[in-house]
Amino acid sequence: MDSPQVRDCVNSLVMATCLVIGAAGQLGIELTLALQAKYGVDEVHISDIRAPQNEEVMRSRYLTADAMDPSALEALLGTDGGYEEVYHLAAMLSAVGEKHPLRAWDLNMQSLLLLLEAGREGKYARLFWPSSIAVFGHQTQKDNTPQDAQLDPTTVYGISKQSGEWWCAYYHRKYGVDVRSLRYPGLIGHRSQPGGGTTDYAVEIFAEAAHGNPFTCFLSPTEALPMMYMDDAVRATLALMAAPEESLTVRTSYNLAGISFAPAELASVIASHLPAFEIQYAPDERQQIAASWPNSVDDSVAQRDWGWTASVDLEALVKIMLEAQLANVAAAGRKS
């Protein structure tokens, strides 16, 4: 990318309220839409190495930038600390990260450290950085995993998230950087494609079911994992960022809980709506990753500190996702 061009472009703008880095990803698209609704399109700037494939998201000012390029980030953030909120979502997820471990480490860690340094220099007021249930591992309590559970990651993605949590806490303690974080469970949404995570089966299954296709799951039928509907995850993110600083007691990353289910449970609920739906199981290397993660997590600290509670259960999730995917199939049929 051409950093001087980005710098010239950014310097010609009036700073907005929010900057979303990694806006082309699954979470980036959803969060950008929510921030546009909250603050207005012009108060949200977005950035990624490729433009988001969503017309509504692209109503906000888009700037191409590499999150690992110090000059690019300097240009995006400007020099006067104009952004109230920066959302740093650029990352390589678990399954893809295992194929490219050094690239995953570089992207996930270098980009965070650059932004934490920018926070120390006063380039923004608050930073959001996502962690993950991937920080947990085989030695971690599997059921109702507590906030202060042992972190025992088994993937480079989880290792980077564990390290990132401690860097966030360090920069808050030593430099007063107001960085906030959530340990996301598997996120399930229908407005964009998943990005290479171990929980992606729970998104892909709905598209196959809506098309009337059998689905082959890469996890075992009984591998329960914490999951969450995307709208709940976005709502939790905005609630955390709006919480008074003095109410926050966790500066690593908050546990976040939504729904916990296994593939066979999800398939059963889908079949109750689409009786012809069929599923088969062919566990691959992602099964080993999933087996190291919790069955469920305890998010009582998030409930206490900033009033968090999930709103979408499994039955509601299946209904929402099937309706959206069936609508997509019908729209594609009309176009053809």
The pLDDT tens digits for 93-129 are: 888 999 999 999 999 999 999 999 999 999 999 999 9
Residue 53 and residue 253 in contact, taking contact as beta carbons nearer than 8 Å: no
pLDDT of residue 261: 97
Question: Helices H, strands E: what count in the chain?
Answer: 13, 14
Residue 123 and residue 54 in contact, taking contact as beta carbons nearer than 8 Å: no
CATH H-level, domain 3-186+230-255: superfamily: NAD(P)-binding Rossmann-like Domain (3.40.50.720)
The pLDDT tens digits for 215-252 are: 999 999 999 999 999 999 999 999 999 999 999 999 99
* pLDDT of 5 above 50: no
* pLDDT of 9 above 80: no
* pLDDT of 163 above 70: yes
- Active-site entry in 157, 201, 229, 254: 157
In a 3-state reduction of DSSP, which class is residue 63?
A: strand
pLDDT of residue 311: 95
Report residue 194's pLDDT band, with 50, 70 and 90 as the boundaries.
confident
Two structure tokens written together for 131: 């962690």
Q: How far is the C-alpha of 311 from the C-alpha of 224, rounded, in Å?
A: 20
DSSP conformation letters of 75-96: HHHTTTT-EEEEEE-----HHH
* pLDDT of 10 above 50: no
Average pLDDT on 185-193 reads 88
CA 136 to each of CA 9, 152, 164, 259, 307: distance values in angstroms, whole numbers, following the listed order = 41, 5, 14, 17, 24
In a 3-state reduction of DSSP, which class is residue 316?
A: helix
Q: How far is the C-alpha of 67 from the C-alpha of 204, rounded, in Å?
A: 28
DSSP type of residue 227: E
Please report, in angstroms and rounded to a whole number, the separation of the first and last CA atoms in the chain.
37
* pLDDT of 12 above 80: no
CA 249 to each of CA 46, 252, 304, 306: distance values in angstroms, whole numbers, following the listed order = 30, 9, 10, 10
> Does domain 188-227+258-297+312-335 sit in CATH 1.20.120?
no
* From-to residues of CATH 3.90.25 in the chain: 188-227+258-297+312-335
The predicted model scores a pTM of: 0.92
Query: Which among 217, 239, 102, 230 has a CA at the least distance from the CA of 159?
Result: 102
Say whether 157 is catalytic: yes
The pLDDT tens digits for 279-308 are: 999 999 999 999 999 999 999 999 999 999
pLDDT of residue 333: 79
